[in-house]
């Protein structure tokens, strides 16, 4: 992830062309086809991609903090930066990376990823501001409980429900209708 982050508010989110890549079934090591790269930045944001990266880095921080503090702190710093990028420059990445639209469209939007990233940053840091921001995103994007039956690269709602439950419990009925029996 670090090599993809080439500057402040800049992140390379795709290498390769969807049409070419989906027509080939071979190892990447043997591919000789064109491999263009695409990035998100302030002019062409990708909130879902940046927020998902922030969440992954926050989780990585938790794994590495007791093993390699320097590496873990780099992950946490980049996580915070990517979260701010995701929140401050909003748009789905498949608009900014048009090649992704036909292959990896963001059907769920970016609201679920903003909540997801906020929750992981709260879990990693204990900083209440991240939990409060996650609650705000929850309301802003109207992510009330629904029949989320899957957790995928695109849709984080099922994970959001579980992580909210773990971190904030059911004692906040003003922002959620999630109950223990809701998670099946």
Extents of the domains making up the chain = 40-182
The pLDDT value recorded for residue 126 is 95
Place of tokens 């989906």: 22
Strand segments (E) across the chain: 10-15, 37-41
Residue 124 has pLDDT above 90, yes or no: yes
Residue predicted with more confidence, 2 or 171: 2
Q: Which residues lie closer than 8 Å to 59 by C-beta, 6 or more apart?
A: 120, 124
Mean pLDDT across 162-166: 87
pLDDT tens column, 49-100: 999 999 999 999 999 999 999 999 999 999 999 999 999 999 999 999 999 8
Residue 176, pLDDT above cutoff 60: no
Q: For the residues 37-58, what does the mean pLDDT come to?
A: 96
Tell me if 5 sits within 8 A of 78, measured CB to CB.
yes
Between 145 and 102, name the one with better pLDDT.
102
Mean pLDDT (the chain) is 87
């Amino acid at each position: 992830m670090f090599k993809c982050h080439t500057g402040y508010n800049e992140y390379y989110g795709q290498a390769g062309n969807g049409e070419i890549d989906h027509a080939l079934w071979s190892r990447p090591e043997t591919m000789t086809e064109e491999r263009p790269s695409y990035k998100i930045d302030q002019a062409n944001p990708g909130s879902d991609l940046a927020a998902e990266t922030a969440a992954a880095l926050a989780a990585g921080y938790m794994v590495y903090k007791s093993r390699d503090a320097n590496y873990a702190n780099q992950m946490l710093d980049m996580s915070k930066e990517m979260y701010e990028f995701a929140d401050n420059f909003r748009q789905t990445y498949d608009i900014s990376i048009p090649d992704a639209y036909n292959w990896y469209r963001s059907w769920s939007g970016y609201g679920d990823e903003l909540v997801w990233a906020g929750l992981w940053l709260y879990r990693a840091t204990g900083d209440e501001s991240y939990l409060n921001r996650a609650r705000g995103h929850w309301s802003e994007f109207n992510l009330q409980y629904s029949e989320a039956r899957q957790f995928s690269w695109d849709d984080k709602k099922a994970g959001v429900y579980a992580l909210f439950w773990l971190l904030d419990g059911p004692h906040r009925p003003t922002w959620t209708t999630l109950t223990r029996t809701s998670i099946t």
